[in-house]
Amino acid sequence: ETGVTQTPRHLVMGMTNKKSLKCEQHLGHNAMYWYKQSAKKPLELMFVYSLEERVENNSVPSRFSPECPNSSHLFLHLHTLQPEDSALYLCASSQEATNEKLFFGSGTQLSVL
Amino acid sequence: SQQGEEDPQALSIQEGENATMNCSYKTSINNLQWYRQNSGRGLVHLILIRSNEREKHSGRLRVTLDTSKKSSSLLITASRAADTASYFCATDQAGTALIFGKGTTLSVSS
């Protein structure tokens, strides 16, 4: 266990559905991240939060909406997704938003039909 | 744009052999990190080497960094079947996100 828990582990949704991914870290870290991992492509940073404030938004489509209610929890709200959004979505945390030593959750494998 | 590029893309070895993976990058960095990912799971941080360091060890792992060549290597000695995974290098440039490469898939057979 890395101390970062993601739910659900698998999610299948239609293009008109609305769903949310949840991430919780038990490490006392101040920074949390969402990454997208597609087949044959490098990990793509989506969002970074430091002390609940968004500090990075990597030109992500508005159909992905992050929420960080406190430093331990991070959500990714999904709506009107496209099939190309099917991927493994990984949450990570680190002590500070310094890009050093990220702790990753096991990810949510998302399939958009 | 992609910063780290691992080589080879895939590597198959026998248990007990050493595995070497390389990473090349394009611009100046603060540090370079290596991560391991087992199939369908999250990434696990293995080791971080800063730009002013040339070599670091952690257990059976040895990482080197050559900033003049903009390259790094990860050596796993006496490999085990449990080392089967994908290995990623990630580079940290000041003020930007951690940039990951596409990874090297290592297969260790017993």
pLDDT of residue A39: 87
pLDDT of residue B22: 96
| Contact of B89 with B34, CB cutoff 8 Å | yes
| Contact of B74 with B90, CB cutoff 8 Å | no
A interface mutation test: which of B1, B39, B43 has the most A CBs within 10 A?
B43
Contacts of B16 (CB under 8 A, 6+ apart): B78, B79
Tokens 């087992």 identify what position? B38
Lowest mean pLDDT among A9-13, A37-41, A92-96, B43-47: A37-41
pLDDT of residue B2: 52
Check B44 against A2: CB less than 8 A apart: yes
pLDDT of residue B48: 96
Chain A CB contacts of B92 below 8 Å: 99-100
Residue A48 pLDDT grade (very low, low, confident, very high; cuts 50, 70, 90): very high
Give buried/exposed letters for B19-49 (b at 16+ CB in 10 A, else e).
Answer: bbbebbbeeebbbbbbbbbeeebbbebbbbb
Assign B75 to helix, strand or coil.
strand
Check B42 against A107: CB less than 8 A apart: yes
Residue-wise pLDDT tens digits, A18-45: 999 999 999 999 999 999 999 878 899 9
Token pair recorded at residue B49: 């080497």
N residues, chain B: 110
Q: In angstroms, what is the C-alpha Rg of chain A?
A: 13
Assign A108 to helix, strand or coil.
strand
Of B40, B45, B101, the CB nearest to A103: B45
pLDDT of residue B1: 46
Check A107 against B40: CB less than 8 A apart: yes
pLDDT of residue A52: 82
| Nearest one of A70, A81, A86, A89 to A24, comparing CA atoms | A70
Tokens 């596409």 identify what position? B102
Peptide bond into A8 cis (omega under 30): yes
Token pair recorded at residue B58: 């952690």
Smallest Cα distance from B72 to chain A, Å = 17
The DSSP code for B97 is -
Check A40 against B100: CB less than 8 A apart: no
pLDDT of residue B5: 83
CB atoms within 10 A of CB B96: 14
Residue by residue, pLDDT tens for chain B (110 residues) are 456 788 899 999 999 999 999 999 998 999 999 999 998 889 999 999 999 999 999 999 999 999 999 999 999 999 999 999 999 999 987 767 788 999 999 999 98
